Chain A
Amino acid sequence: MKYMLSFTVNGAPADVAVGPTETLLDVLRDRLGFTGAKRGCETGDCGACTVLVDGRSVRSCITLALTVQGKAVTTVEGLARDGKPHPLQQAFHDHGASQCGFCTPGMIVSLAELLEKNPEPCRDDARAAIAGNLCRCTGYVKIIDAAMAAARSPHKKGGPA
């Protein structure tokens, strides 16, 4: 049995017929083509699937799709505004914060929530915001460097278009 899920993704409405067992991650990736959210562990441990639901970061791999009825979902693809990358995306680019890149979307989404909540984070705040995002390439150093650089940007709030 499928049910109609109506929600918005990156500001645009989406209506998808989904089954009760489908996760938000699968719907985003396989039905709607938002492959920026990654399948890293599918047990909620690694953070590669992190997306925003009504502005709060969640693990889309352990979120049942039908529980986000009517909500606003933002993926890494929806962070750019006015054709310009989100300050975090720019800072990750400028600071070499992305290596293999697989954890990058989840990292950026987690940090985007931080910058919305806390306009002047310190390094420890950034570290805490990505506490649940695993990375095997960077040792997290340049990721936190990038987060601090983005926090200094006047347009740090970014947000969905």
Chain B
Amino acid sequence: MAESVIGKRIPKVDSREKVTGQAVYAGDMRMPGMYYGKVVRCWEHAHAKVKKLDFSAALKVPGVVKIIGPDDVTKKPYNTTVMKLLVPEIFGEVFGEIADLNIFNRVVKHQGDAICGVIARTEEAAERAAAKIKVTYEPLPVYMTVEASKAEGKKKNGYLFTPLKPGNLAFDLPESFFPGKRYGWNDKDGKTAEQLFSKCDYIIEDTFYVPKQKQCQMENHSYVAHYDERNRLNIWTSTQMPKPVQVLIAELFELPLTRVRLTQTTVGGGFGVRLGMIGEPHACAMAMAVPGHPVRMEFLREEDWVASETRYPGHIWLKMGFKKDGTPVAVDAMYSARKGGYYTHGSGPPFCAAAFLHGMYKWQALGMQTEGYFTNEVPTGAYRGYGNPQITFAAEQMITKMCNELGLDEIEWRKKWHKSIGDETWLKGVTFASDGLNDCLDVAAKEFGWYEKKKKYAKQTGVKRRGIGLAVMQHTSGAFPMLLEHSVCTAKLNEDCTVELIQQISDLGTGGHTVITQMAAETLGFPMEDIHLKSGDSDMCGFDIGAHASRTIYCAGPATIEACESVKKQLLERAAQLLEANVADLEMKDKIISVKGNPQKSISAVKIAKEGVYNYIDAATGKTIGIPGQIQGYSSFFAKHCSPPYGACMSEVEVDIETGEVKVLNLVNGHDIGKAIHPPSVEGQLEGGAQQGLGFVLTEEYAYDSKGRVLNNDFTDYKMLGPSDMPKAKIILVETAPDPIGPMGVKSCGESALMGPIGSVANAVYDAIGIQIKEAPITPEKVLKAIKEQGLRK
């Protein structure tokens, strides 16, 4: 029998083409008759009216085919997100989902808003013409903070970003679903968190700031769109959500799904930025203006910073109350976020910040409010963690401080008070089914040498001070039951008894295609080489949500398994008929189906597969040879749970108290994976996530000038960590708590990777100097200022 590939360190199915340079990203595509599209954006202003748009000089540039502006495209407003497809209509209405984007704009609400599009025969002509388009603007005041936006929104006749959102309040929790506009729960006597503070022995209250971070996927957003001779709109894109984006494009351009074909190209990183549409509407609009010609449109890196969504920045206020023995009593919280110029993922990340506070500890009562105000910034949206990095940065610093001040062991406190099996997860009414957090804490503490280091660094002198920090987290595997989680798989048995999986698996470099192939091989007992995953083409694949909420393996894996089980079952049924045996008595090994305990009574699965397709008539008997019909398995799978994984991360830092510089020396992250189907991919998620988490906590944030223009829209001045900046990182995959619901015991790992590094580094800085730095990123400037103002506290 083919050796099981589950848990094996095998090469990934899609890595050959990546290491040889053969993998095709949308920007690598060339097609006959292809034109080049260029979006003209507003770089001068963050808020302005377009007074005049003059194409005359640009149209004279040789090679220009067409220039299209706001009047040449659909006026239908849209939203980039797929949220409305994932919830019932009424739910979207209650949450206040709106559509407020246009393809090309007469009002600029953030630097980078699109004004018009140039289509030309060469990229050079498109670029040169774009530079010659004259746009006359009337600048408007810019609102860059929650306070400024709120104040303007409160004024009589004050400026409103959209009439659909009074007061410039893009989102808060609707009272009808959330009493007191708070997410959480009251204690057994119905008392709210606020009401319980009077019963607490120890109360801490603080405000934290979380940054506007960019996903920085290495592939720029690139598209090829083609309105073809059959009046079909074709689009090649590296979106994370191919099927839902196909639907959004069809709706925007009012086409039936049969006339929209979306092909997912190799995805050069996602991390949430491609969770919905970005440049698809612009690329499609340009292609529809020149039917018959494919149009390639590639973002420049600087466009990414001003024209694709970011993490939600803002302030998080937390008030926590405890008994003196550390018993958690009440937490009240508020996340006040900057939305950016458009609604986009208006409700998601702020709600989820509250949700992940909800999922962590056993408070007697918890209430969290969230609000998002429009600002003249590029809109915020999905970024790996979706609210969880923000709340973890704040909450884990508070927990550590409480443990310090009450003299409690912070590992033991977290073991005792984290929510576990049977407790409510991040989502009301859904309970934890498995819990590996204590094991994560134990293995991490041992590997890290937590207690030894704690002792060693208790008293330090000198300029360089060491500190250690801990943070735990819980996340989710898919977003069910809050959101739809549906995946379809067809497993087609070829006549040579190999299998084509036809399934829209969105692999952002995460290893998804490999793991799905492993799961199919395991289910069928076939070798990996006999399974081929066909993915990416909406003309072929059934429905799938795509990659979001760390869902792929957890939600799409079961569809693969069910479809392959069906293939196996059909093979066994045919074998039973041909062998005149019971299905229950049969087993399949190395594609030979035999009666258990009687290997002589057997038939080859290859023969069954072949005869199903080439079902000839035996001239001698007039009967068919074998059983007719090509075998195909099918599953349309809806997730049943969200099996949150846990994680525990420990970091060691060295703080230079004369310069405020923080160096992360060492990081150990124990992750409750349940079962690692492909360990290198799980480790890769956690190692790579650490780079993003460390960026969040140490270096990454947008910088603006006084007019709201981005000062660091390049890698020269937006600093993510390079190879020389990364600490030694040890990832430990904890498999002691396989999930009873996840396929093969699996829980997720994609987004989980950021929270631990963020919280633990913040806490390690606190440990080193005795001062909490409450604003991320924790830059040397902030550290030194804090030391200057407050003095070393350790």
Residues of A at the B interface (CB closer than 8 Å) are 29-30, 33-43, 45-46, 48, 75-77, 80, 85, 88-90, 92-96, 98-105, 108, 127-128, 130-144
CB <8 Å contact, A96 and B688: no
CB <8 Å contact, B723 and A140: yes
CB <8 Å contact, B724 and A134: no
A48 to B22 Cα, complex, angstroms? 14
Q: A93-B15, A102-B269 are in contact. Are A137 and B715 (CB under 8 A)?
A: no
Q: A43-B301, A43-B715, A96-B11 are in contact. Are A134 and B729 (CB under 8 A)?
A: no
CB <8 Å contact, A101 and B509: yes
A90 to B218 Cα, complex, angstroms? 22
B21 on interface, CB distance cutoff 8 Å:
yes
A105 to chain B, nearest CB (A): 5
A36 to B23 Cα, complex, angstroms? 8
B594 on interface, CB distance cutoff 8 Å:
no
Given contacts A30-B123, A45-B714, A99-B688, 4 further A-B contacts (CB under 8 A): A38-B27, A38-B268, A139-B688, A142-B683
Q: List 6 A-B contacts (CB under 8 A).
A: A30-B123, A34-B21, A41-B301, A96-B680, A99-B684, A140-B726
A87 to chain B, nearest CB (A): 11
Q: Which of B420-428, B689-697, B772-780 contacts A (4 or more CB under 8 A)?
A: B689-697
CB <8 Å contact, B15 and A98: yes
B510 on interface, CB distance cutoff 8 Å:
yes
B217 on interface, CB distance cutoff 8 Å:
yes
CB <8 Å contact, B724 and A99: no
Contacts of B298 in A (CB 8 A): 39
B310 to chain A, nearest CB (A): 14
CB <8 Å contact, A99 and B509: yes
A80 to B724 Cα, complex, angstroms? 28
Contacts of B266 in A (CB 8 A): 100-101
What 0/1 readout, one digit per residue, does chain B (689-719) give for beta carbons within 8 Å of chain A? 1111000000000000000000000111000
Q: Which of B11, B17, B269, B511 makes the CB contact (< 8 A) with A94?
A: B11
CB <8 Å contact, B215 and A136: yes
Q: A101-B18, A127-B724 are in contact. Are A137 and B688 (CB under 8 A)?
A: yes
Q: Which of B19, B25, B270, B271 makes the CB contact (< 8 A) with A93?
A: B19
Contacts of B683 in A (CB 8 A): 96, 141-142
Contacts of B27 in A (CB 8 A): 38-39
Q: A41-B715, A85-B19, A139-B688 are in contact. Are A100 and B218 (CB under 8 A)?
A: yes
B20 to chain A, nearest CB (A): 6
Chain B interface size, as a band, is 35 or more
Nearest residue, chain B, Cβ from A109: B21
Closest 5 CB pairs of A and B: A36-B21, A100-B509, A101-B18, A96-B680, A99-B509
Contacts of A48 in B (CB 8 A): 218
What 0/1 readout, one digit per residue, does chain B (718-761) give for beta carbons within 8 Å of chain A? 00101110100100000000000000000000000000000000
B216 on interface, CB distance cutoff 8 Å:
yes
Contacts of A142 in B (CB 8 A): 680, 683-684, 687
CB <8 Å contact, A104 and B18: yes
B219 on interface, CB distance cutoff 8 Å:
yes
Q: Which of B21, B511, B689, B714 makes the CB contact (< 8 A) with A77?
A: B21
Q: A100-B217, A100-B218 are in contact. Are A46 and B715 (CB under 8 A)?
A: yes
A89 to B271 Cα, complex, angstroms? 25
B129 to chain A, nearest CB (A): 16
Q: A89-B20, A101-B15 are in contact. Are A139 and B269 (CB under 8 A)?
A: no
Interface centre among B12, B19, B20, B218 (most CB of A within 10 A): B19
Q: A36-B21, A96-B511, A96-B681 are in contact. Are A139 and B11 (CB under 8 A)?
A: no
CB <8 Å contact, A139 and B687: yes
CB <8 Å contact, A136 and B216: yes
Interface centre among A38, A46, A141 (most CB of B within 10 A): A141
Contacts of B301 in A (CB 8 A): 40-43, 46
A142 to B15 Cα, complex, angstroms? 13
Nearest residue, chain A, Cβ from B217: A136
Contacts of B508 in A (CB 8 A): 100
CB <8 Å contact, A141 and B687: yes
B54 on interface, CB distance cutoff 8 Å:
no
Interface centre among A35, A88, A92, A101 (most CB of B within 10 A): A101
B223 to chain A, nearest CB (A): 14
Nearest residue, chain A, Cβ from B681: A96
CB <8 Å contact, A102 and B218: yes
Contacts of A95 in B (CB 8 A): 680
B416 on interface, CB distance cutoff 8 Å:
no
Nearest residue, chain A, Cβ from B689: A139
CB <8 Å contact, B687 and A89: no
Nearest residue, chain A, Cβ from B24: A35
A101 to chain B, nearest CB (A): 3
B16 on interface, CB distance cutoff 8 Å:
yes
B685 to chain A, nearest CB (A): 9
**What does DSSP make chain A's interface, helix, strand, loop or mixed?**
loop
CB <8 Å contact, A140 and B691: yes
Interface centre among B17, B509, B510 (most CB of A within 10 A): B509
CB <8 Å contact, B18 and A134: no
A25 to B759 Cα, complex, angstroms? 41
A38 to B767 Cα, complex, angstroms? 42
B267 on interface, CB distance cutoff 8 Å:
yes
Contacts of A33 in B (CB 8 A): 30
Q: Which of A29, A96, A101 makes the CB contact (< 8 A) with B23?
A: A101
A127 to B30 Cα, complex, angstroms? 35
B28 on interface, CB distance cutoff 8 Å:
yes
B300 on interface, CB distance cutoff 8 Å:
yes
A98 to B11 Cα, complex, angstroms? 10
B220 on interface, CB distance cutoff 8 Å:
yes
A21 to B153 Cα, complex, angstroms? 48
Contacts of B123 in A (CB 8 A): 30
A136 to B718 Cα, complex, angstroms? 13
Q: A41-B301, A45-B714, A96-B11 are in contact. Are A136 and B19 (CB under 8 A)?
A: no
CB <8 Å contact, B220 and A139: no
A41 to B302 Cα, complex, angstroms? 8
Contacts of B215 in A (CB 8 A): 136
CB <8 Å contact, A77 and B20: yes
Contacts of B11 in A (CB 8 A): 93-94, 96
Contacts of B729 in A (CB 8 A): 139, 141
A154 to chain B, nearest CB (A): 19
CB <8 Å contact, A43 and B714: yes
Q: Which of B19, B25, B687, B692 makes the CB contact (< 8 A) with A102?
A: B25
A92 to B14 Cα, complex, angstroms? 12
A46 to B220 Cα, complex, angstroms? 12
A128 to B684 Cα, complex, angstroms? 21
A150 to B530 Cα, complex, angstroms? 29
Contacts of A77 in B (CB 8 A): 20-22
B79 to chain A, nearest CB (A): 26
Interface centre among B30, B217, B268, B510 (most CB of A within 10 A): B268
A100 to B266 Cα, complex, angstroms? 8
Contacts of A39 in B (CB 8 A): 27, 220, 298
What 0/1 readout, one digit per residue, does chain B (245-272) give for beta carbons within 8 Å of chain A? 0000000000000000000001111110
Contacts of B18 in A (CB 8 A): 92, 98, 101, 104
Nearest residue, chain B, Cβ from A132: B722
Contacts of B510 in A (CB 8 A): 99
Q: A39-B220, A139-B687, A139-B688 are in contact. Are A134 and B25 (CB under 8 A)?
A: no
CB <8 Å contact, B218 and A40: yes
Q: A39-B298, A137-B688, A142-B684 are in contact. Are A104 and B19 (CB under 8 A)?
A: yes
A34 to B56 Cα, complex, angstroms? 36
Nearest residue, chain A, Cβ from B219: A102
CB <8 Å contact, B20 and A40: no
A131 to B722 Cα, complex, angstroms? 6
Q: Which of A40, A43, A134 makes the CB contact (< 8 A) with B720?
A: A134
B242 to chain A, nearest CB (A): 16
Nearest residue, chain A, Cβ from B267: A100
Contacts of A85 in B (CB 8 A): 19-20
A134 to B392 Cα, complex, angstroms? 26
Contacts of B724 in A (CB 8 A): 127-128, 131
